[in-house]
């Protein structure tokens, strides 16, 4: 059964008006361009929020006027709150900005509309990108942080516990947050420089060579797939899309590889 709502909160060291401005006007700077953070990661070039009631939340692609409308804004009070109705699921979301101590508490409440069935409750993962951006905002370049073309996916029985261990023991960090004890986020992404380390839940008994997957982003996924197939490699899954276009294959000793379509900005 789909949960009726989900709430996520962070505190940031700026006043509510500034927090609101950063959240809305600088979303393309704080939004992490990870492998699974877009509906169409192969074409996405930007995230954008159009101000005011009737404005849109957009996933922007490379061609003029080529966008995915994620939502339409239904309420807009700068420095206080804004709300939107999603176009990609059956939820309504309200983001509030309240003065708290010497900063602002930002709270996101995403709720299933009456009679709704589909909900993508992603804000618990995403909201933590905002304070991370604010912490480096004054010294960071005013261009989005792009990921490199190599990512590694690791499989664990308990990905959240693994993330905490990798953070504590190896010093690996995240542009979002390290999952707390007792939490089970829908995805976990650690970062090494501009590379992603994706942690997935182990769903079967994998032999040693299958306990990880290396991801590589290529300019022309279709041509790459055709070449791999013609060369006789074992194809585990043909090109498919779930936020990102990719296919899976196996090398001569059974290691798994994922090849994904690079975005125009990569």
Alpha helices in the chain (DSSP H): 16-25, 27-30, 123-126, 129-136, 159-170, 221-230
CB 165, CB 118: distance < 8 Å: no
| pLDDT at residue 207 tops 70 | no
Q: Which CATH architecture has domain 5-136?
A: 2-Layer Sandwich (3.30)
- Return mean pLDDT, the chain: 88
pLDDT at 57: 97
Among 77-86, 116-125, 155-164, 169-178, where is mean pLDDT lowest?
A: 169-178
Q: The tokens of 34 are what?
A: 């990870």
pLDDT at 89: 95
Nearest by Cα to 127 from 43, 11, 224: 11
pLDDT digits (tens, 9 = 90+) for 133-158: 999 899 887 888 777 888 888 888 88
CB 221, CB 208: distance < 8 Å: no
What are the boundaries of each domain within the chain? Answer: 5-136, 150-261
Q: Model's pTM, two decimal places?
A: 0.76
Which CATH number, 3.90.1150.10, 3.10.180.10, 3.10.20.30, 2.40.50.100, labels domain 150-261?
3.10.180.10
Tell me the average pLDDT across 79-108.
97
Tell me the average pLDDT across 55-59.
97
Ordered DSSP codes for 242-263: SBSEEEEEE-TTS-EEEEEEPP
| pLDDT at residue 253 tops 90 | no
Among 55-69, 208-222, 229-243, where is mean pLDDT lowest?
A: 208-222
Report residue 102's pLDDT band, with 50, 70 and 90 as the boundaries: very high
Tell me the average pLDDT across 73-101.
97
pLDDT at 212: 77
Give 116's Cβ-side CA count (13 Å radius): 20
Among 54-58, 177-181, 218-222, where is mean pLDDT lowest?
A: 177-181
Distance CA 38, CA 48 (A): 12
Distance CA 72, CA 54 (A): 6
Tell me the average pLDDT across 221-248.
91
Nearest by Cα to 250 from 260, 266, 263, 237: 237
Are 5-136 and 150-261 in the same CATH fold?
A: no
Looking at per-residue confidence, does 14 or 64 come out higher? 14
pLDDT at 209: 60
pLDDT at 208: 60
CB 109, CB 124: distance < 8 Å: no
């Amino acid at each position: 059964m789909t949960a009726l709502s989900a709430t996520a909160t962070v505190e940031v060291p700026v006043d509510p008006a500034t927090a609101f401005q950063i959240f809305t006007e600088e979303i393309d700077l704080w939004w992490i361009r990870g492998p699974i953070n877009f509906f169409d990661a192969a074409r996405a070039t930007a995230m954008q929020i159009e101000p005011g009631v009737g404005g849109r939340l957009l996933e922007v692609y490379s061609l003029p006027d080529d966008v995915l409308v994620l939502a339409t804004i239904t309420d807009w009070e700068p420095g206080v709150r804004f709300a939107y109705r999603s176009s990609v699921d059956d939820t309504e979301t309200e983001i509030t900005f309240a003065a708290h101590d010497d900063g602002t508490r930002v709270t996101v409440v995403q709720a299933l509309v009456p009679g709704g069935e589909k909900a993508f409750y992603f804000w618990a993962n995403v909201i933590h990108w905002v304070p991370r951006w604010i912490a480096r905002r004054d010294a960071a370049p005013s261009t989005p942080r792009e990921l490199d073309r190599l990512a590694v996916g690791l499989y664990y029985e308990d990905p959240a516990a693994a993330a905490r261990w990798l953070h504590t023991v190896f010093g690996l960090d995240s542009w979002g947050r390290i999952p707390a004890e007792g939490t089970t986020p829908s995805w976990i992404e650690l970062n090494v420089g501009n590379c992603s380390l994706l942690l997935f839940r182990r769903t079967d008994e994998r032999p040693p060579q299958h306990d990880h997957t290396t991801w590589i982003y290529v300019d022309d996924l279709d041509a790459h797939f055709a070449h791999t197939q013609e060369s006789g490699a074992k194809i585990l899954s043909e090109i498919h899309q779930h936020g990102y276009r990719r296919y899976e294959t196996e090398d001569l000793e059974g290691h798994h590889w994922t090849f994904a379509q690079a975005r125009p900005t990569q």
